[in-house]
Amino acid sequence: MKTHKLALRAAITALLTLAGTLAVRALTREPPEPDEERARVALSHALPEMDGKHLEVKMVEVNYAPGQASGPHSHPCPVLVYVTQGSIRSQVDAGPETVYKVGETFYEPPNGVHRVSANGSTTARAKLLAIFVCDHAGPLTVDVPEKK
């Protein structure tokens, strides 16, 4: 059984790497520079324990107008994020607020509270590709009430 879970985790990692690479190339539609690596691992992160029976991957493109932000929210599934345009300000749980630029990635743990999710610019658009790895049905995003 343990071998099955390890093989499943390796397959998911390979699938996410391939899906992310293909999606980013399709979204940006820019050919690689001649001296650029043909393939690179953009993000590698261990996934939490999952049942392995109902796995589903969803890729969601999120667009932010200049200065636009999302309210506090949470995702019940682990999320891998790749910035495809502009810059994104992000803070999950008590971690530091970080600005991610085009080509950079970050990981959100399941049920982590995404306190800041915003365009890092007040003059340019921003876009990210969120890859959700879920093992159960339900909403991808849940609003979290703001602390007063």
Whether the per-residue pLDDT at 67 is higher than 90: the answer is yes
Domain range for 48? 2-143
In contact, 88 and 30? CB cutoff 8 Å: no
In contact, 133 and 77? CB cutoff 8 Å: yes
At which residue do the structure tokens 């803070």 appear? 91
> For position 9, which CATH number holds?
2.60.120.10
97 found inside a domain: yes
13 found inside a domain: yes
In contact, 76 and 133? CB cutoff 8 Å: no
Q: What is the DSSP letter of 32?
A: P
Q: What is the pLDDT of residues 2-54, one digit of tens each?
A: 655 555 565 555 555 545 555 555 555 555 566 666 666 676 767 777 777 78
- pLDDT computed for residue 54 by the predictor: 80
Task: Please count the structural domains in the chain.
Answer: 1
Whether the per-residue pLDDT at 134 is higher than 70: the answer is yes
76 found inside a domain: yes
126 found inside a domain: yes
27 found inside a domain: yes
59 found inside a domain: yes
- pLDDT computed for residue 25 by the predictor: 54
Q: What is the DSSP letter of 137?
A: -
Q: What is the pLDDT of residues 70-106, one digit of tens each?
A: 999 999 999 999 999 999 999 999 999 999 999 999 9
148 found inside a domain: no
- pLDDT computed for residue 19 by the predictor: 56
Q: Are strands 56-64 and 105-108 parallel, antiparallel or unpaired?
A: unpaired
pLDDT band of residue 145 (cuts 50, 70, 90) is confident
